[in-house]
Each structure stands twice: as C-alpha cells, then as structure tokens.
A and B are shown apart, each in its own frame.
Chain A
Amino acid sequence: DIVMTQSPLSLSVTPGEPASISCRSSQSLLHRNGHNSLDWYLQRPGQSPRVLIYLGSNRASGVPDRFSGSESGTDFTLKISRVEAEDVGVYYCMQVQQPPWTFGQGTKVEIK
C-alpha cells in the first residue's frame, strides 16, 4: 500500500498569515496522464470532509484562491496564502493512484 506522511500534525496560525502543509508519498503518484494522483481535503469541526485540491494542483469548485497545491516528485504541499478563521479544521492528503486509496494522518490547523 502507498503510505502518505503529512507534516506537521498540528499548526497554529495567526489570521492573515500564510500556512503550509506537507505530504510525502512512499511511491510515485504520477499518472500516465501527466497528473499526480493526490488530493487535499479539509474536515471542519463537526462536518464531513470537502475537497480543496485534486490531482495535485487543481482547485476544486468553490474553493477560495488562497488555497493552492504544488508538487515536486513525491512531495506535495498545500499552501494557504492568508489564513482565515473559517480555515480551522483537519487537512488530509489522499492518494488516488491505486487502491487502496490512502490518507495522510491529518494536520490540525488552529487559529492563534
């Protein structure tokens, strides 16, 4: 199975400041179509997860442009350019390259 490793596991951010979450996969997630099979999800407290970024760097519908995804080999990064209060929750990366799809451990983001 592909192992996904996130860091940090928790993050406390001042509103208006940037934040960054890393995710590393144990194998290449590069699909033959040229995209990386890596998504990012946010689970706000008490809510179901929602997709933020799919296939490495594509922002999902309705997601603010302060969220962006980048890729370098087996290293992936989710960046929030300016954190807002509504961004609190747990962020997960997930590989969809091959079943079983696997998630990272999650990164809990809090507001200072």
Chain B
Amino acid sequence: EVQLLESGGNLVQPGGSLRLSCAASGFTFSSYAMTWIRQAPGKGLEWVSAIVGTDDRTYYVDSVRGRFTISRDNSKNMLYLQMNSLRAEDTAIYYCSRYCSGGCYSGLDSWGQGTLVTVSS
C-alpha cells in the first residue's frame, strides 16, 4: 500500500525556519516526482513546489522561491521542504503527493494526511 506521511509542522515565529518531512513507503520512491501542496485555513489548494526527474529538477511558486527548498533522499525514501524566512501567509496544512512524470502521468495519485504549519508571534 502506498503511504505518504508528513511531519515537522509546528508553531513558528515570523522569520523563523522549519523543515517538513514526508516519509514514503509502498512504492519505488525514486521513480516518482514529488510535490508539496498547501492549504491555508478555510482556503483552497495551492501548489508550492515539485522535484522531478533523475536530475532532481526543482520548481517553486513565486511566493516561496528563494525561501523554500525542496529536496529528496532516495536512499531513505524521504521528501523534504526546508522553509526559511517564514511569513504569516505561509500558515497552512502542507501535503506531499507523488506523480509519475512523463508518459505515465495519472494525476497526483497519492497524498499524505498533511502537517500543519502555523506562523505567528
């Protein structure tokens, strides 16, 4: 069974840092692209970042570029999101999800349960 389990969410002060983790199991992690998507309280979904391909190409939404860094450790089946210079508007539930990039795409077909990041003084 495919499982994605996020952790690392917490209450942090504006300007602070946090590292989110996503533990993957039940599939060949290195064969999939991974993405982070967030949802502010009571709001819609917002794509944040993705890491794709054997060369680990990375993509970011403009609002986090330069502050957030997505990375992965295929030996540990782990996805990460390093979040620096956090702002109140980064407050959200952060979901990790997977997709098959290239000709095998079938949507973001597995999602974690999410981890809550709260940025507040």
Residues of A within 8 A of B (CB): 1, 33, 39, 41, 43, 48-51, 53-55, 58, 60-61, 90, 92, 94, 96, 99-106
Contacts and interface: CB of A to CB of B under 8 A. Distances in A.
Main secondary structure of the interface of B (DSSP, over half): loop
Contacts of A53: 107
B22 to A, nearest CB: 12
B107 A54 contact: yes
A100 B44 contact: no
Interface string B81-121: 00000000000000100000001011111011110000000
Contacts of B108: 39, 41, 49, 51
A43 B93 CA distance: 13
Interface in B3-56: 35, 37, 44-47, 50
Among A48, A50, A96, A105, max chain B CB count under 10 A is at A48
B105 A92 contact: no
Interface residues of B, number: 22
A56 B47 CA distance: 19
B106 A54 contact: yes
Given A39-B107, A39-B108, A100-B47, A48 B62 contact: no
A55 B105 contact: yes
B111 A48 contact: yes
